[in-house]
Amino acid sequence: MNKFVQTAKEAAVIGGSILKEHFKKLKKSDVESKGIKDYVTYVDKLSEERIRDFILSKHPDHSFLGEEEGKFGDSDYTWVVDPLDGTKNYICGFEIFAVSVALLHQGQVVAGSIYVPMLDKLYWAGKGEGAYLNGEKIKVASRPIDLAVVATGFPFRKISELDQYLSMLRAAMITFSGVRRPGAAAIDLALVAEGVFDGFFEMKLSLWDIAAGILLVEEAGGICTNFEGEKDFSSGNIIAAGKEIYNVLFDIVNGKIKE
Domain with residue 217: its CATH number is: 3.40.190.80
Instruction: Answer yes or no: is 257 within a domain.
Output: no
Instruction: Answer yes or no: is 258 within a domain.
Output: no
What is the distance between the alpha carbons of residues 203 and 60, in angstroms, rounded to a whole number? 34
3-state secondary structure of 237: coil
67 is in an annotated binding site: yes
Task: Give me the domain span that covers residue 7.
Answer: 1-135
Domain count of the fold of the chain: 2
- Which of these, 195, 214, 199, 12, lies nearest to 104 by C-alpha position? 214
Instruction: Answer yes or no: is 259 within a domain.
Output: no
Question: Mean per-residue pLDDT for 31-38?
Answer: 67
84 is in an annotated binding site: yes
Looking at residue 35, its pLDDT comes to 63
Mean pLDDT estimate for the chain: 93
CA triple 133-210-45, angle to 5 deg: 95
One domain for residues 122 and 182? no
188 is in an annotated binding site: no
One domain for residues 88 and 154? no
163 is in an annotated binding site: no
- The pLDDT confidence band at residue 29, using thresholds 50, 70 and 90, is confident
30 is in an annotated binding site: no
Residue 159, pLDDT above cutoff 90: no
What is the distance between the alpha carbons of residues 116 and 118, in angstroms, rounded to a whole number? 6
One domain for residues 103 and 156? no
